[in-house]
Each structure stands twice: as C-alpha cells, then as structure tokens.
Amino acid sequence: MSQPPKGSIGNIFHENNDGRIEFVGDFEGCYQNENDPWGQCGKDDSMSQYYHSSRERILNTLKGLGTVTVLEIGSGLGVVTNLMLQLPNVKRAIGIDISPTAVKKAQKQYPQCEFHVGNILEADGLPPIDNVDVVIQNQIFWYIMPSFENALLNCKKFLKQDGYLLLVQAFFQNGTQRYGKEYFDGFEDIVRLFSQSQYLQMDFISASLTRGEGSHYDDGQLFLKNSNEENEK
C-alpha cells in the first residue's frame, strides 16, 4: 500500500477479503502494542537505511535556512524532532502526534524538545502554537488522504506568513500503490497538484523522489512556502 509496513499494521490498515485496503487509524493501539512502530528508532534493518537517508535530506533542507523554529506533524517517538533540535540554526523543535502514548514516550526520551497530543485533521484540538518557521508533515500522507486539504490548511495555521511546509513520505520503489488511488496515484500526482498556481496560497519550491541505497523505498519530499499574497490584498 506504499507506506512502511512495520509496526502493528492491523491497527492502522485492514485488508478485506477482496484485497481492498481500508484505513483503521488506531495509532494509540499501535503505540501501546509496539515499542517501536515502523522501526522509527532506526534499529530495524529493513527501515534503517531509508530513515537515515530521508532524515539526512530533512536536516540538509533545514540547514539551508536561517534560524528557525520547526514543528513536526507525526512526531511519533520524537526521534526526528530531537535530530532537528541538534542543528545549530534550530532554536526550538516541537512535535505533535495523535497518540498520547507516543507523546508520553517522546517527552520522557527527549525532554529538551516539546511534544503535544493533537490530530492535524481537527483544528479545535490542536495546541495553540503559531509563528512557526517550518512545519514538517513526516510520514503521515497515507493517513490523511481523504482530508488532505484540511490537514494542509491546519498546518498553515501554525506557520508565519513566509514560513515553509515540508512534506515527507516513503513510496515503494516499484510504484505499487494499493491504497488511496482515488485521491492520489503516486508522488507525481501530488507534485502535479502543488505545481498548480498558488494552491492553498502555497508557493511551490521543489520536489524530489530519491532512491535510497539498500532500501525498498523511495523518499518523496515536497518543499513549499506560505504565500504572502493573501495578506497583501
């Protein structure tokens, strides 16, 4: 279904008898049942090389900016949030995850970072954070597809007027996608949407799909900038 297959996958997706994939979305159950869902701590050999490559690209993007506050949506156990805080130009690193168990574990492991419980699809339950320089949607694309636009609009509420949005997602290298084709069919379809002029008042900066050595996954990253156009009218 074109997303990392590790973790308690039954808590997140269900395959019907006819082969169709349905989204379950029990992230709290997943984090309660697994110490390290999706091998995000980098100790799982099947995912470690992909994560290393993807996270290096995230950090390199941040290094090219000035002093920034960053917010990771889908922070999980806090590994990437903590890596970002270690960059000299990152003054504040915040993580948001839908699972209270994940947030509790992240807070314990990385007390130097900030972590909050929140669902990016539900604006009323999100923490009151604003004026963020960079928001990163990290590996949550398949979970928000039916409400993709709503999730992006909620991300924009965190951003300063000229802030950045970075979308990061793993894709199977053979291009096989079994879930969500009615919304997007592969990375190219996502890029096509954002290449449209001023989609959601976001300026398209760059998009890349990189194949990691020794990994079964391509790393898709889409970099956007919040437009001032709406505020200048």
Average predicted confidence (pLDDT) for the chain: 88
Q: How far apart are CA 98 and CA 78, in angstroms?
A: 13
Q: 57: burial class by Cβ within 10 Å (0-12, 13-18, 19+)?
A: middle
Classified as helix, coil or strand, 42 is: coil
DSSP assignments along 111-172, one per residue? TTSEEEE--TT-GGGS-----EEEEEEES-HHHHGGGHHHHHHHHHHHEEEEEEEEEEEEEE
Residue pLDDT, tens place only, 57-95: 999 999 999 999 999 999 999 999 999 999 999 999 999
HSE toward the beta carbon, residue 205, CA cutoff 13 A: 15
Band of the pLDDT at 164, cuts 50, 70, 90?
A: very high
Dihedral sign (CA 48, 32, 93, 25)? positive
Q: pLDDT per residue over 89-139, tens digit each?
A: 999 999 999 999 999 999 999 999 999 999 999 999 999 999 999 999 999
Distance CA 94, CA 199 (A): 26
Q: Is 80 helix (H, G, I), strand (E, B) or coil?
A: helix
Q: Are 192 and 26 in contact (CB under 8 A)?
A: no
What number of other Cβ atoms are within 10 A of residue 175's Cβ?
A: 12
What global pTM score does this model have? Answer: 0.90
What the block records as the tokens of 44 is 């799982």
Q: Which two tokens stand for residue 39?
A: 């091998």
Tokens of 120: 């990016």
